[in-house]
Structure 1
Amino acid sequence: MSIGIDIIRGQAIQSIGSADHLIGRLAIMTDSRRPHRNSLFVPLIGDHFNGHQFINKAIENGAAAALWMEREPLPQDLPASFPLFLVHDTLKALQNMAKGYLNQVQPKVIAVTGSNGKTTTKDMLYSILRGAFRTFKTQGNLNNHIGVPLTILAMPEDTEVLVLEMGMNHFGELTFLSQIAKPNVALITNIGESHIEYLGSRAGIAKAKLEIVNGLKKHGTLILDGDEPLLAPVQTNAFQIVRCGYGDHNNWHIEDVEESPTGMRFSLRGQKHPFDLPVLGKHNVKNAALSFAAARVIGTDVDTIRHGLAHLQLTHLRFERLNGLNGSLLINDCYNANPTSMKASLETLKNMSGFDRRVAVLGDMYELGKNEKVMHKGVAAELTPPLTHVVTIGDKGAWIAEGLHEQSEDPAVEVRAYKTKEEALPYLQSLLDAKTVMLFKASRLMALEQLSSHLQAEESAD
């Protein structure tokens, strides 16, 4: 083999140290179906799959070596020259390799979590920091116990700042991720209702989010949503705390917010000049303030921050503006949803000027626990003029329409409920003209972007 490693067969390797020299030379492959030349295949085991069964497919798609769990039998048809590294557990080996590689590269690490806005904040940080440092960020939604190690192992060897998005839905998960990453800066965007099904309450969510400090480096910094009462009691001498928000008590106090058809302008107390943001919503202004605070801690100058925010490009499906049929505007905000994020998107929709027809297309929200019906109905309080139309999709989404009718027998907005996207499509098409803006918002499993793709103007479609 050109990579010059020994074939290891018939003996257990107690640590992954024998393969450490591969990191940085080989890409990591966990999905044998995706071609990845010169890669190290890491076969993972899940509830319904065993990656070891696909070793030949991995070789066909570019694997140059593989980890192998000791107890798994070796395939008889495995090429004799193909190198295997035997480990007790391939997932733990992957996580240990990530720790080792992170220690080797030693970038400054910013860890971002929160119920809403963590991907947007990650994108903001990347847009800012790449103007001053060699920066790498979480790709897509690789933010769990597998995704975080894969992100770490994918970063270039010359990375100076690593921005890691961290997700969770159970207690203990952020502790684990934080202890892998050992962040210099930990950032909590907000506390919403995401995963309340598993964490019991918003107080439980706050407790789980605060686990991100359990791996924070000595003299590190925690950056918080300073307007969230559940985070107000956080006090410590173990690390610095920086609070951002609209309240006057915050370290970085947001002022003078202005909205235009193309984005937001805002100021931070103590800064001479305002900041421009090419996305809508007061919630995104707060994400920008949190990003500003983290970038300043890392050592980024204010002009670089201002330029990065002004030239922000968000991950697909986050308040994505699309040209719709008949000159209309479509807002794709359907990557995910919970009541907090849905209400924030509705507030932004209502504040958009220049439209006679403001249409909210809302779908099911998942992982809300036993109170999911009440939480869906609670969104109805936000469905007021200047919204003109509300269209709900799905069985849970119908609760939103039900809540609106319970508030008033004759709602001030026109509301319709459909079980499927296909049923709703003709009605939505009938609403589109040059004075229409239409928002799509639901949990990811609803795939509401399929609706917006049907409603896009031909010249802007993919």
Structure 2
Amino acid sequence: MTIEELYGRYKELPLVSTDTRNITPGCIFFALKGEKFNANTFAAQALERGARLVVVDEAQYAEDERCILVSDVLLALQDLARFHRAQLNIPIIGVTGTNGKTTTKELLHAVLSQRYKTFATKGNLNNHIGVPLSLLAVDGHTEVAVIEMGANHQREIAFLSAIAAPTHGLITNVGKAHLEGFGSFEGVKKAKGELYDYLKLHNGVLFIQGDNPHLQEMEKARQIDQVVRYGFSADNNIVGQLVHANPFLTINWRLQHEEVVNNVSTQLTGSYNAENILAAAAVGNFLGLSASEINQGLEAYTPTNNRSQVVQTATNTVIADYYNANASSMAAALDNIAFIDANQKAILLGDMFEMGDESYIEHQKLVEKAVAITAARKIFVGQAFFAHQYAGAEFYETTEEAKHALQARPITHSTILLKASRGMAFERLMEVL
């Protein structure tokens, strides 16, 4: 079956699934393979649960006319998404970056939805499987789509850009993350910069944090024609000012050369999110939204999934930011807790993963930074942090040990930073805070 023929079947009822646990009646089920699974074996089950068609790449599972046999199911899914994207005559905004890409994507969705029927990547479906699935969820009524793209090795953003074909794009920032795959900070810049390469080649519009020297260097090296700058200095197209961050952000923003200032009170915490808010304002303004529409979208957005999320417990205010962590996001979170005006503070940090050869020194830097902050309790959890013992701080090898320590000696009436890589399972500490 050609991709055009497969697309014809998809258009009859454009629903796609890769998980038999979440079959939508009438969908097309793609039987993907992984290191530890082979969904070809679930083809019959998918049909029983309501799938209209299944796409397989092992002949023994192509039992009847409802089974489409291809050479590689993953390639078929990606090709179908690429073909579907080619039929969409709408702005598609590609978003990547080391930190803040999911929050920025959600802010863009909140703002653009004030005027347009907007689709945005669900959750963090931002890889070689998630991006195709996201594109195939964009229907004919959608007027703007925001597609998040993640990467942990070179050429991944280039590959995803070739599928999503963004007309507009932004890199939130570049920092030390996934160093095992990228090799170095320069490797991170090269990999993320593949989005700039695509926009340059296809005459796309770039939105850039105009005060970020790394992003500026990356943009100048490519000489992109259409650039919209946002930031805090006066030479940006969108000029912002952080007013408050205690703990929720209030910002001012205005258009360059205009005196009218927009004051926005958000439900986001973390001073590092101010530039993500400005990014959404910049995109909204470029796509024709009024200042009122932009402000309404920004104020309506409420973070979830433990990303810059403020949680009020019985006695504490917890900045729950433990969905993910790397050296740059950790440092930004520490700067934020230091900036916040609170009667009493506590810092709980967990190990960062995928840091490669720089793990030891980066964890050491963060311990030194954290112990310099005025806080009643400074707690470090995980084997990487455990290697750096400092007086006046607490170190535990596991999250369970930290939990027991907090049960024995609770933290009360404090503003608490809770940040770690997802694998540390810091949600278990919420039970004792």
1:52-79 superposed Cα distances (whole Å, 9 cap, x missing partner): 111122223321101122xx13248x4x
Which residue number corresponds to residue 232 of structure 1? 216
Which residue number corresponds to residue 446 of structure 1? 424
Note the C-alpha offset of 1:388.
Answer: 2.2
Q: Note if contact 1:179-1:214 (Cα within 8 Å) is conserved in structure 2.
A: no
Trace 1:41-190 onto structure 2 (pairs within 5 A). 41-69=29-57, 72-75=58-61, 78=63, 80=64, 83-190=66-173
Note the C-alpha offset of 1:396.
Answer: 1.2
Letter matched to residue 244 of structure 2: E
Partner Cα separation in structure 1 for residue 330 and residue 92 of structure 2: 30
Note the C-alpha offset of 1:237.
Answer: 4.9
1:355 aligns with 2:343: yes
Note the C-alpha offset of 1:34.
Answer: 2.7
Candidates 250, 253, 273, aligned match of 2:262? 273
Letter matched to residue 252 of structure 1: I
Question: Quick one: structure 1 residues 272 and 330, their matched pair in 2 at CA, closer, same or farther if it must change by over 3 Å?
Answer: closer
Partner Cα separation in structure 1 for residue 340 and residue 180 of structure 2: 33
Which residue number corresponds to residue 380 of structure 2? 392
1:364 aligns with 2:351: yes
Trace 1:185-264 onto structure 2 (pairs within 5 A). 185-216=168-199, 218-233=202-217, 234-235=219-220, 236-255=222-241, 257-264=243-250
Q: Note if contact 2:206-2:224 (Cα within 8 Å) is conserved in structure 1.
A: no
Aligned pair count? 424
Which residue number corresponds to residue 459 of structure 1? none
Which residue number corresponds to residue 432 of structure 2? 455
Partner Cα separation in structure 2 for residue 92 and residue 158 of structure 1: 26
Q: Taking every aligned residue pair, what percent have the same amino acid on both sides?
A: 33
Taking structure 2 as the reference length, the TM-score comes to: 0.92
Q: Note if contact 2:349-2:379 (Cα within 8 Å) is conserved in structure 1.
A: yes
Partner Cα separation in structure 1 for residue 246 and residue 37 of structure 2: 49
Letter matched to residue 296 of structure 2: H
Note the C-alpha offset of 1:282.
Answer: 1.9
Note the C-alpha offset of 1:88.
Answer: 2.1
Structure 1: unaligned runs, 5 residues or longer:
1-12, 457-462
Letter matched to residue 281 of structure 1: G
Question: Quick one: structure 1 residues 319 and 455, their matched pair in 2 at CA, closer, same or farther if it must change by over 3 Å?
Answer: farther
Q: Note if contact 1:392-1:398 (Cα within 8 Å) is conserved in structure 2.
A: yes
SS class of match (2:128): coil
Candidates 392, 395, 398, aligned match of 1:420? 398
Which residue number corresponds to residue 9 of structure 2? 22
Q: Note if contact 2:267-2:303 (Cα within 8 Å) is conserved in structure 1.
A: no
Q: Note if contact 2:241-2:251 (Cα within 8 Å) is conserved in structure 1.
A: no
1:83-117 superposed Cα distances (whole Å, 9 cap, x missing partner): 12222221111111112222333221011000000
Letter matched to residue 431 of structure 1: P
1:151-194 superposed Cα distances (whole Å, 9 cap, x missing partner): 11112320111011100011111111111111121100001111
Partner Cα separation in structure 2 for residue 339 and residue 56 of structure 1: 46
Note the C-alpha offset of 1:238.
Answer: 4.5
Q: Note if contact 2:248-2:270 (Cα within 8 Å) is conserved in structure 1.
A: no
Partner Cα separation in structure 1 for residue 176 and residue 231 of structure 2: 19
Q: Note if contact 1:178-1:213 (Cα within 8 Å) is conserved in structure 2.
A: no
Letter matched to residue 180 of structure 2: E
1:348-375 superposed Cα distances (whole Å, 9 cap, x missing partner): 222232332x111111101111111001
Partner Cα separation in structure 2 for residue 141 and residue 238 of structure 1: 28
Question: Quick one: structure 1 residues 360 and 256, their matched pair in 2 at CA, closer, same or farther if it must change by over 3 Å?
Answer: closer
Q: Note if contact 1:264-1:281 (Cα within 8 Å) is conserved in structure 2.
A: no
SS class of match (1:33): helix
Q: Note if contact 1:339-1:375 (Cα within 8 Å) is conserved in structure 2.
A: yes
Taking structure 1 as the reference length, the TM-score comes to: 0.86
Alignment root-mean-square deviation, CA? 2.0
Q: Note if contact 1:148-1:164 (Cα within 8 Å) is conserved in structure 2.
A: yes
Q: Note if contact 2:98-2:175 (Cα within 8 Å) is conserved in structure 1.
A: yes
Note the C-alpha offset of 1:133.
Answer: 0.3
Q: Note if contact 1:243-1:252 (Cα within 8 Å) is conserved in structure 2.
A: yes
Note the C-alpha offset of 1:218.
Answer: 3.8
Partner Cα separation in structure 2 for residue 194 and residue 210 of structure 1: 15
Structure 2: unaligned runs, 5 residues or longer:
none
Letter matched to residue 358 of structure 2: N
Greater shift in the superposed pair: 20-29 or 187-196: 20-29
Partner Cα separation in structure 2 for residue 422 and residue 160 of structure 1: 47
Partner Cα separation in structure 1 for residue 289 and residue 8 of structure 2: 33
Question: Quick one: structure 1 residues 161 and 133, their matched pair in 2 at CA, closer, same or farther if it must change by over 3 Å?
Answer: same
Note the C-alpha offset of 1:224.
Answer: 2.0
Partner Cα separation in structure 1 for residue 381 and residue 170 of structure 2: 34
Q: Note if contact 2:403-2:428 (Cα within 8 Å) is conserved in structure 1.
A: no
SS class of match (2:292): helix
Note the C-alpha offset of 1:386.
Answer: 2.5
Partner Cα separation in structure 1 for residue 347 and residue 142 of structure 2: 42
Larger radius of gyration: 1
Partner Cα separation in structure 2 for residue 214 and residue 98 of structure 1: 21
